[in-house]
């Protein structure tokens, strides 16, 4: 059984059940306060089978709602992870297609907010160029799309010594801009996707717009995840004094690709509140206590000490 990392003041129990021949572990905080909102940070193993993926995610969303979550976070590629460029493009849809329509209905029927963290959205000029966006879609509890962020930093990385070779730009269009944080039942959520995690400028921009929570739904490779995943997430939390919620893909998707897992929730002090481990699908249910965020920022007022933006680019101007 996987262990859930938590702060010392939180007692935890685990509830596990068999589903679709996979062991799904739901980690629950045993002493949750009814006055503090709960988020579910999910971990899945998507394949090219869209129907099976939806069934698995639907079960997690229902379990999260039963566990008291008001917002559920699903990872990059929640809809599918293709085994080739052609398959990835063939399986893509528009925001008005079947997959998003089904998630809108799911959100409405359960009365829960959804963060769909990396949808393969057909580009606006799909018929001409056959490329897609990697889109983070927020759906409210009425089943309405309230925000769409399109991934701005694309993962074009060659690490032959580690067996990593991915060029996202060959089929994906970079997003044109950031989007403002979204007001949700758990606080103001700033949107990123996976590789965006490596660019602190993005997290600081979202902080300046009032973000309480940063979210990086991901499908990290095993090699990069082992080296950098937790370190980067904790760094983003510490430098912004935000909660960071990072749903994740885990395990083997097909013969060509596996993901690191360890869906993570981090508090504004940088402490890990929940870790789903590197083997099984499941979720971590965590309280998002905004009073803790305010206390952290008040006691260590980093943002008040930050100099104006031009100060940090002064060396560039001197050259």
Residues belonging to the active site: 76, 151, 194
Cα 47 to Cα 49: distance, rounded to the nearest angstrom: 5
CB 82 within 8 A of CB 48: yes
Query: 180 Cβ partners below 8 Å, 6+ apart?
Result: 147, 209
Burial 81-93 (b: 16+ CB within 10 A, else e): bbeeeeebbebbb
The one-character DSSP state at 307 is P
Confirm if 224 and 20 have CB atoms less than 8 A apart.
Answer: no
Max CA distance (Å), the chain: 62
Look-up of token digits 């940088």: 270
DSSP letter (8 states) at residue 96: T
Residue 247: CB atoms within 10 Å: 32
């Amino acid at each position: 059984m996987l262990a859930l990392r938590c702060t010392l003041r939180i007692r935890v129990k685990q509830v596990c059940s068999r589903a679709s021949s996979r062991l799904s572990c739901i980690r629950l905080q045993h002493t949750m306060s009814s006055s503090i909102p709960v988020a579910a940070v999910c971990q899945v193993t998507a394949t090219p089978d869209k129907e099976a993926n939806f069934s698995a995610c639907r079960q997690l969303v229902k379990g999260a709602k039963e566990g008291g979550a008001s917002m559920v976070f699903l990872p990059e590629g929640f809809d599918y992870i293709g085994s080739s460029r052609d398959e990835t493009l063939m399986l893509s849809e528009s925001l008005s297609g079947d997959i998003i329509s089904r998630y809108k209905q799911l959100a409405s029927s359960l009365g829960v907010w959804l963060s769909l963290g990396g949808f393969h959205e057909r580009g606006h000029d799909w018929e001409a160029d056959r490329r897609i966006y990697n889109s983070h879609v927020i759906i409210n509890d009425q089943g309405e799309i309230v925000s769409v962020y399109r991934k701005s930093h694309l993962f074009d990385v060659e690490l032959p010594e580690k067996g990593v070779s991915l060029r996202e730009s060959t089929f994906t269009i970079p997003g044109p801009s950031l989007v403002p944080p979204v007001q949700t039942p758990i606080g103001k959520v700033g949107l990123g996707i996976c590789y965006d995690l490596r660019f602190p400028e993005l997290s600081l921009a979202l902080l300046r717009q009032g973000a309480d929570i940063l979210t990086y739904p991901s499908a990290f490779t095993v090699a990069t995840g082992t080296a950098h995943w937790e370190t980067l997430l904790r760094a983003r939390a510490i430098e912004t004094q935000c909660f960071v919620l990072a749903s994740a893909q885990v395990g083997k998707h097909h013969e060509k690709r596996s993901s690191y897992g360890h869906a993570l929730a981090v508090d504004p002090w940088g402490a890990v509140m929940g870790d789903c481990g590197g083997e099984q699908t499941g979720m971590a249910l965590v309280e998002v206590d905004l009073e803790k965020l305010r206390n952290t920022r008040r006691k260590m007022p980093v943002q008040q000490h930050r100099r104006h933006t031009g100060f940090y680019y002064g060396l560039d101007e001197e050259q």
